[in-house]
Chains A and B, each alone.
Chain A
Amino acid sequence: MTAGLRHLRRGRRRTVLAALAVFVPVFLLVVFLGMIGGMEKEMFASLTGFDTGHFQIRRATDRPASGALPLVRDPAPLLAVVEASTQVTWYTVRLDLPALAAAAERSLGVVVQGVRPADAAESPFARAVTSGRYLEPGDEGVVVGRQLLDALGLSLGDEMILLGAHPQGTAGVAVPRIVGVFDLPDPALGRGLVHVDLGVAQRLVRSPAVTAVVGYVRGVEGPWDTPRIAEAVARLRAHLPEGYEVLDWAQLGPESLGFMRLMRPIVVGFMVAFFFLGGLVVLNTLYLSVLERTRELGIILALGAPRRYVMRQVLLESGLLATGAAVAGAALGLGFVLVVEAVGGFPLPGAYEEVTALFGMQPHLRMRVTAAEVAMAAVAMVAVAVAAAWYPARRAAALEPLETMRHAN
């Protein structure tokens, strides 16, 4: 072991190179995993934060042919079940219904989302309000997208006629004033969705109905916590009355999910190549080091050292080098992630803003790694380095003592 350390110290330039070849991939892997983890967490938060929740309870029967969500006319039993669950930390209700939005001359089909304004205050719609304000509790107003406003030729402060068109509701009418306008990058949402207070929406179906209970589960931070959600969902299912279904976030928002699922394998694939390169550098380093020490290894063998001793020495040397460099890489990578998190993320250059906005995220890079990911990165690289040392180790052990002494003399 001391001999191994001294060999590393003696071939310092080579050792530094090989150590970097181990350090850099481990550091990068931890940082990349941190970026992915952070993005997943952000995307998950934005997706589930308002839109899907961790799960939704909906009516499973009496689905209207039009694709509108079936009405739950009496949500009280559902709320009682959710309230009784110890795993659900928070919930809200929503009423989504098809409606006709009309102005003096024109009308358009839209989806009215009736929300509890306090519960939706963090939604992407609330954040995207660029003129006026978002809904307040008990609000009689409506918040609309810029595109809809333009299409109907209306402006902030005007009244808009909403005609409920839910197949299971008795068509109601409301004439809310436009109190806020949101600008979303997705024009379909901007043209097709309006937000009103739940009470206003219920008047459009003339019933105290909702279409979904949106719930959140304790201790869930990202997609990796899906098993917790599944467990909570399973319990809820067991207690719900007949005719209801519980859908989790993955079933409710499948498009972003595909992207999320792709990122990790892509990065891991890249890193496999990096690790492989690191392994090659280690191999080359040890091979040169063995060549340089031919005479010394010859003496050791002449003195009667078993071949496995010589082999073990070379493997030990690579193990020492790789462990030191991999631990340093993992520690610095982890440190980087923690520092970025400590300062509240890393502002991304402007060009990324549109991309992040598409997923409802802030143009800030957040990072997150788990201890298991950090450990895995380091252990995998050490394993690669020791495997790469196998060939030089075999070469060293196969030296013929007399041959080596003749060459070196």
Chain B
Amino acid sequence: MRTEAVVEARGVHKVYVAGTVQTPALNGVDVTLSRGEFAAMAGPSGSGKSTLLHLLGGLDRPTDGEIYLDGRAMSGLSKDELARLRLTRIGFVFQAYNLIPVLTVVENTAFVLELQGIPYRERLRRARAILAELGVEKYANQFPNRLSGGEQQRVAVARAVVSEPAIVLADEPTANLDTRTSLDLIDLMRRMNEEHTTTFLFATHDTRLLDRVDRVIGLEDGRIARDERVR
């Protein structure tokens, strides 16, 4: 397999400034995700996992260093260009409350396709197909508040992969789920990774999930403490 860098962080520092208080969150991070990888980012709370995911996903900018997506430096992009990049190249799954409450499950899934300007029938077809793959097509016309937490997260995964992004970034997607549901969700993400060759990087502090990934990136105090292939 050719290793093609999808996203790359080079010497990334992030310091949060609130008034006179400066909180260093990342202290020189170098990491590269290659196409098709299924990786977990582990580390205790406060170690900088969310911060790094936000930087990799173009939701925030590093204080120092550079992020590359598809080989292009992000620092030169305007806010609107970053939004465009997120829309077309990145899928997000957050910890909870990912879905838009006034849209049905299928509308939520098709939403990013709508923003991309894909015609109605086409986006509906694609949304339904991906919901079926994730086993939640029966909720297609329900509103999110009728679904359990695990089902909602599956829909969030569906929405993240439906536009076939370069990478899906998931920030503790299983934090609010029980063990069984968590493992199922990770398995589904794994299937998406294999069937669509979508690159996945998810943050977790649940060590039970780590034997299901190819690679574990360990963060501690804003530094990469370990980075190993486990399979």
Contact = CB atoms under 8 A, between A and B. Distances in A.
Interface residues of B, number: 27
A304 B101 contact: no
Nearest to A306: B83
A309 B86 CA distance: 15
A402 B80 contact: no
Contacts of B101: 10, 296
A302 B100 contact: no
Interface stretch (B20-28, B91-99, B126-134, B213-221): B91-99
B102 A303 contact: no
Contacts of B96: 409
Contacts of A299: 94, 97-100
Interface string A293-332: 0011001111111110100000000000000000000000
B87 A303 contact: yes
B112 interface: yes
Interface in A241-296: 295-296
A408 B97 CA distance: 9
Contacts of B99: 299
A401 B57 CA distance: 12
B47 interface: no
A302 B95 CA distance: 14
A276 B189 CA distance: 53
Interface string B85-126: 111101010111111111100010001100100000000000
A405 interface: yes
A300 B92 CA distance: 11
Contacts of B98: 299
Contacts of B92: 302-303
A309 B115 contact: yes
A57 to B, nearest CB: 70
A7 interface: yes
Contact of B115 (A2, A3, A304, A408): A304
Interface string A218-245: 0000000000000000000000000000
A13 interface: no
B84 interface: yes
Given A402-B54, A402-B59, A3 B100 contact: yes
Interface in A1-36: 2-3, 6-7, 10
B60 interface: yes
B83 A305 contact: yes
B126 to A, nearest CB: 16
B149 to A, nearest CB: 15
Given A302-B86, A304-B112, A305-B115, A3 B103 contact: yes
A279 to B, nearest CB: 25
A402 B87 CA distance: 16
A303 B116 CA distance: 11
B59 A303 contact: no
Contacts of A2: 103, 107
Contacts of B97: 295, 299, 408
A302 B100 CA distance: 12
B87 A305 contact: yes
Contacts of B60: 402
A356 B85 CA distance: 72
A78 B87 CA distance: 82
A10 B98 CA distance: 18
Interface string A48-92: 000000000000000000000000000000000000000000000
B19 to A, nearest CB: 15
Nearest to A308: B80
A303 B54 contact: no
B100 A10 contact: no
B111 A409 contact: no
B57 to A, nearest CB: 8
B58 to A, nearest CB: 9
Given A401-B59, A402-B60, A304 B83 contact: yes
Nearest to B115: A305
Nearest to A295: B97
Residue in B80, B85, B96, B100 with the greatest tally of chain A CB atoms within 10 Å = B100
A171 to B, nearest CB: 91
Contacts of B85: 304
Given A295-B97, A402-B54, A402-B60, A304 B88 contact: yes
Smallest CB-CB A-B distances: 8 pairs: A304-B87, A304-B86, A6-B102, A304-B83, A3-B102, A305-B115, A296-B100, A402-B59
11 contacts: A295-B97, A299-B97, A299-B100, A300-B100, A302-B94, A303-B86, A303-B87, A303-B111, A304-B112, A306-B80, A306-B84
Interface of B: 54, 59-60, 80, 83-88, 90, 92, 94-103, 107, 111-112, 115, 159
Given A3-B100, A300-B111, A305-B115, 18 more contacts: A3-B103, A295-B97, A299-B98, A299-B100, A302-B59, A302-B86, A302-B94, A303-B86, A303-B87, A303-B115, A304-B83, A304-B84, A304-B86, A304-B90, A305-B87, A307-B80, A307-B83, A409-B96
